[in-house]
Amino acid sequence: MAKSFSIFVTEKDQGKRIDQFLSETHLLLSRSQAKRLIENGHVYLNQRPIKPSARLRSGDLISGTLPEPKPISLQPEPIPLSILYEDSSLIVINKPPGMVVHPAPGNPSGTLVNALLYHCQDLSGIHGLLRPGIVHRLDKGTSGVMVVAKEDEAHDQLVWQFKNRLIEKTYWAIVFGSFKEKEGLINLPIGRHPSERKRMSTKTKKGKEALTRWKVLEEFNGYTLLEIHPQTGRTHQIRVHLATIGHPILGDPLYGRKNRPGMSHDPLLKECLKKIGRQALHSFRLKFYHPRTKKLLEFLAPIPPDMMEVIKIFRSAGRKE
């Protein structure tokens, strides 16, 4: 059923746009979700319809309803899942490379959501959006640990943990080049690419804060295995940050080194790209608090065979001297 809410504006939020304000409240809405609710007539300012750009004053009353999730028209599909943990509140899976998380144009079926609908009978919705249970995502070519909510309360709690940076994410990636330092921090804002809509970029006027910590695990001749800790959760963050500092992820179709002169003649690289066929990025570890018990949980997904095969090839070719 739809949920009603009422919020009074205080002095500290005076002057903010209403869509921005709603995205910062306990409602756990993104700014785009807040804007959509306002445009669809679900939000009122002092009991009157308003626009997303309306500016707030101290003492204003914001009220409205969060509509019920729309009936799911997707079909459950008996797609095998690698389940690391499951209880009545959530399910943790090891997503294989090549699996799309949720349906989109060009991927109407065969997604993680289709598999989850078959496995779980009680996935939560997301305030009327058709992404049942999904609180974060991994790109199609990225493998590894993901957590999915099975009930609304768990969903909202996990979203809150992600938003407040309480969830610890650890990735492994194989990247081009060597590093002078053994660890570091990339602090570059990320936004939509100014001309290519499928890409993200650090060279944008409307970038959002993005922080990525990295650490060298193993060095080879011309390649490095990194451990990565994203502190924020921007779209394509790890891929964009590493490409920007000159160390794109091996096999990355969007941000990689597809057309660099001489690459097509490197037999070692050609062999590795053939083995992996995707960006060599893996969600290795995920730590978060259980939404009901508040217990700190930690889950690990072993490095998948394709990335392990590439690491073995580089090792056999010789480590960096």
Q: Is residue 139 annotated as a catalytic residue, yes or no?
A: yes
3-state secondary structure the chain: CCEEEEEECCHHHCCCEHHHHHHCCCCCCCHHHHHHHHHCCCEEECCEECCCCCECCCCCEEEEEECCCCCCCCCCCCCCCCEEEECCCEEEEEECCCCCCCCECCECCCCHHHHHHHHCCCCCCECCECCCCECCCCCCCCEEEEEEECCHHHHHHHHHHHHCCCCEEEEEEEEECCCCCCEEEEECCEEECCCCCCCEECCCCCCECCEEEEEEEEEECCEEEEEEEECCCCCCHHHHHHHHCCCCECCCCCCCCCCCCCHHHCHHHHHHHHHHCCCCEEEEEEEEECCCCCCEEEEECCCCHHHHHHHHHHHHHCECC
Query: Could you tell me if 117 and 124 are in contact, meaning their C-beta atoms sit under 8 angstroms apart?
Result: no
Q: Which listed residue (139, 156, 252, 306) is catalytic?
A: 139
289-to-136, 142, 150, 154 alpha-carbon distances in Å: 15, 23, 15, 11
Which residue numbers are catalytic?
139
